[in-house]
Structure 1
Amino acid sequence: MSDSNTTDFTNTSTFILLGVPGLEAAHVWISIPFCTMCAIAILGNFTILFIVKIEPSLHVPMYYFLCMLAVTDLVLATSILPKTLSIFWFNSREISFSACLIQMYIIHCFLAMESGIFVAMALDRYVAICDPLRHSTILINPVVGKIGLVVVLRGFMLMLPFPFLAKRWPYCRTNIIPNTYCEHIAVAKLACADIRVSNYYGLFVIISVTGLDVLFITVSYTQILRAIFSLPTKDAWLKALGTCSSHLCVILAFYIPGLFSLLTQQFGHNGPHHFHVLMANMYLLVPPMLNPIIYGVRTRQIWDRLLRLFTHKGT
């Protein structure tokens, strides 16, 4: 490890993950909120999956998409947890080159899937509110399955070039990644080659995934809000708005930390590096933790079924 940051580095069989640079002495303490968030994310998302499975009234498109979101959140939270904790607890910083590329691919792939699921959920809310009489005939199970397949395939296919490009780069400067996990930008900075193709493709992915998804969600909710506020009574539009509130909350919980993390990476070069690393980790941990809480608290069907489950167990 002592020679891993020299300029004659040529071995790409392993990388060194530093954890949170500058806060190495506090790694054990930092692991406590990390573990707490991951535990809440895992427990909450498994609870959502269990409740939807056992409650027949929840076998509708909105909750099918919610189950897809829960699975995606579970993958995102657990994709970084084992290695991150091994760094914090055991100072085990080495990660193989192949494992690093696999982790990088999984993270970006499932982030793209999560964004696509929000688009699918926005479509479901649009049809339910703007054309409620046709909701059950438009979003039938085969259509929901095809939408889910498109979301999954888009994530897999669009992110596939990232590990292939990274595998082709020569690494001759250092094998140290100042982060707790392998991320595309962090790995790209280690290459001693022209990586403009990778940067251009990364920009294309941001525009074609996040940009188009946010645009579609914005257009959908513009139409949804117009339909809601055209309802004749205040009670009617409050009820309709309540059906969308959970979705709007999880969208904000996903895109706002992501935008903040991206801005700090691009324009916050003068800020402390440990802040950038912590923000990048929060982007992967906070939404999986908050999503089941938001849906569990704000969705009456899930909350009622959960209460019935514990009430019956207690009697």
Structure 2
Amino acid sequence: MKASFEFRTGWLLLVAALVFLISPVPSSSGQGLVVPQGDVVARDVREMYDKGLGYLLKTQSDSGTWNTGGERGAGTTGLGLLAFLASGEDPNFGPYSSAIRKAIRNIIKSQPKSTGYMGPSMYHHGFGLLALAEAYGAVDETDLWAGEKHANQRSLGEALELGVRCAVTSQKKNPFGAWRYSPNTRDADTSVSGAVLMGLLAARNAGIEVPDESINKAIKYFTSMTGGNGIVGYSGGLDGFGESIARSSIACLVYAIAKRKDLKQYKSVEKYLVNNRSEGSGWTEYARYYQAQALFQADIEAWEKWNKGLIRKLKGVQGADGSFQGDLGAANSTSMALLALALNYRFLPIYER
């Protein structure tokens, strides 16, 4: 684990040094974020993102999570953590370093050693797992627990291994090879399964051992739920709950990140998303969060067009305090809106193409 941390940290420092050498000297004391691909991040995006992070920073509790509406748990804390990490600011010495550490500690504290489960549902477990995986190797853990003692105190690597074990154990109990709300549930849906599978894929990308069998079983479940027209069912078969931009986006994303673009089911959801870029009704922030990532992985030109519209929409609805209000509560809605915008930065490893 230490070698993995040193390798990833060394790589990030090398990239930062190269960016510094080739970047023009700024004309003012402030310096905007630089995207590794060399793209210029629009001023509207930077301003919205900074305001949104300001809201999350102000409303984060001393325990490291958010209590501003919506269901609290590892997922809510994880989404906020991801929003901070995606900004590109130094997670160890930047303005959000303290908030990042508080969030990491909160997620790990929620995880008993006996099960590795980060509740209160497998939704939360999946998003918590994803957040820890993106922090692993980027956050220096030397002083993560400085001055604090807790029964569940452990490293990011240990927490990730426990989280992966929980997800794999839950999947083995499930006849569908997927997940639903409880670790012991014997039915499944594509929404919860998408959250958990993305957590597993991120953990694998971070160097944590994830059985190929587990990934393959989950992908098989998604193929069974994907129609030839790109519509993805929710639970119980292809006819479950009709069309959903969110579910088609989730399927497209997991196929892409699992490197299964060869599948005919991937082709069908890719075509569906590119041809249906309008937003669905209900759970808008949740749909945007997945739609942004799926389009980015599927068709960069389609994403660029959709992203311009997204920036306009979010600029018009962001509150004066930097928050975004929605069905999931202010904290979750703000985090997901920011993460939909975060593709403009592309700093999170999971956002790479």
> TM-score, normalization: structure 2?
0.28
> TM-score, normalization: structure 1?
0.30
Between structure 1 and structure 2, the one with the greater Rg is 1
| Structure with the larger RCO, 1 or 2 (CA within 8 Å, 6+ apart) | 1
Higher helix residue share: 1
